[in-house]
Amino acid sequence: GSLEAKKGHWGAFTDLMYVNVGENKSGVRDFTIGGTPLPGTASASVNYDLKGWIWTIAAEYVAVAQPGATMDVFAGARMLDLEQEINWGLAGDIGGIPGSGRSGASSVGRTNWDGIVGIKGRWRFGDDLRWFVPYYVDVGTGDSDLTWQAMAGLGYSWKSVDVFAAWRYLDYDLGEGKPFTTLSFNGPLVAVAFRWQCSAAVP
């Protein structure tokens, strides 16, 4: 979800993402540990879960405001808060040593802040300039060695409602010796944006 407010050439926006992804793997003959296949009398299972929040907040300035194109420059910060959990289990005759089963769990988390700068805007075309291409690019560093994000798509605008589809990519290089070293999220999105104006009466 995103929220943006502008007054004249100045403004601010915020963006919040919640991430919840995971994977479960289990098997016997198709499972390997350290490149070595498990014997047929053993079985293994691994459950991976990653949850987190990604929050961006920034101040912006309208650099280009033409009927067919807009561009804002901005500077702000992005927070990454992640928690990773792994549960695993082994059962059966493992390496010639029979056993009733072995299991374990590991959990690690990280929160970091990065300063970011970037540009965002729209390029309009078509009859009445209702079609538009939204774009967004930022880059930053701080607790991360490098983070960057990019988005582009295609949309259609009515009087106060926009509908668009886009592809969004977010990448982190968190550095060596950290619980997470590299991280990236990308995929398609479909969104509806509502626009409204506020005015105050002057006595």
Residue 106, token pair as written in the block: 């590991």
For 112-147, the pLDDT digits (tens) are 999 999 999 999 999 899 999 999 999 999 999 999
When mean pLDDT is compared across 75-89, 124-138, 172-186, the lowest value belongs to 172-186
* pLDDT of 90 above 80: no
Q: Tell me how far apart the alpha carbons of residues 117 and 129 are, in angstroms, rounded to a whole number.
A: 28
Residue 87, token pair as written in the block: 């549960």
For 12-65, the pLDDT digits (tens) are 999 999 999 888 776 655 556 566 665 555 677 888 888 999 999 999 999 999
Place of tokens 């929160």: 111
The residue-averaged pLDDT of 172-195 equals 88
Q: Tell me how far apart the alpha carbons of residues 82 and 52 are, in angstroms, rounded to a whole number.
A: 4
Whole-model pTM: value is 0.79
Write the DSSP assignment of 32-86 as a string of letters.
EETTEEPPTTEEEEEEEEEEEEEEEEEEEEEEEEETTEEEEEEEEEEEEEEEEEE
